[in-house]
């Protein structure tokens, strides 16, 4: 496995860039990359998608194996990420939001399994009111890239016949 995908990769892609209805090749690529062992996500991301009650929820429901559970290797990283969030310059509300969302588990899972996080979030290290995934990744030595960087690195092409 190489990449672990943030919820926004699925949600924002479906809403904007790669809608299930007009860029099915993106979703087929995700299926193939997962089958090849190159991409995964975590169960909490799957739960966030399922809560949407949309066509994306239906798509994700048929791919339970894509959304992996946290495991024993994650425990030390969950503590490390939580400690970092609580000892930073972030507001209590920002910490509470981060620790209750999938982001916290996503960073810990990536650290535990030496994966690269793929997210649409941008780093904002001075922001106090929200903890951004790229900043949490950077604090823990976890590589973090955009979906377009991942697609280019993996040679994905969505070409009309």
Model confidence over 97-117: pLDDT tens digits? 999 999 999 999 999 999 999
Q: What is the pLDDT of residue 35?
A: 97
CB 133 within 8 A of CB 117: yes
Give me the percent of the chain exceeding a pLDDT of 90: 96
Residue 104 pLDDT = 96
List the domains of the chain with CATH numbers: 3-153 (3.40.50.1010)
Question: In the predicted model, what is the mean pLDDT of the chain?
Answer: 96
**Tens digit of each residue's pLDDT (9 = 90 or more) over 47-97:** 999 998 899 999 999 999 999 999 999 999 999 999 999 998 999 999 999
* H or E, element range at 145: strand 144-145
| Tokens, residue 87 | 């000892």
Determine contact, residues 38/152, Cβ cutoff 8 Å: no
Q: Answer for the pair 10, 54: CB distance below 8 angstroms, yes or no.
A: no
């Amino acid at each position: 496995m190489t990449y672990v995908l943030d919820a926004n990769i699925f949600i924002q892609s479906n809403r904007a860039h790669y809608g299930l209805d007009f860029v099915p090749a993106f979703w087929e690529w995700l299926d193939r990359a997962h089958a090849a062992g190159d991409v995964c996500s975590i169960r909490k991301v799957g739960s966030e998608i399922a809560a949407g009650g949309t066509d994306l929820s239906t798509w994700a429901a048929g791919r339970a194996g894509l959304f992996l559970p946290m495991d024993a290797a994650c425990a030390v990283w969950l503590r490390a990420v939580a400690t970092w969030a609580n000892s930073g310059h972030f507001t209590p509300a920002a910490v509470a939001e981060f620790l209750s969302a999938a982001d916290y588990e996503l960073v810990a899972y990536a650290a535990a399994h030496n994966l690269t996080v793929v997210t649409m979030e941008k780093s904002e290290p001075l922001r106090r009111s929200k903890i951004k995934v790229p900043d949490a990744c950077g604090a823990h030595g976890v590589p973090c890239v955009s979906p377009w960087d991942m697609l280019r690195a993996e040679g994905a092409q969505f070409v009309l016949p």
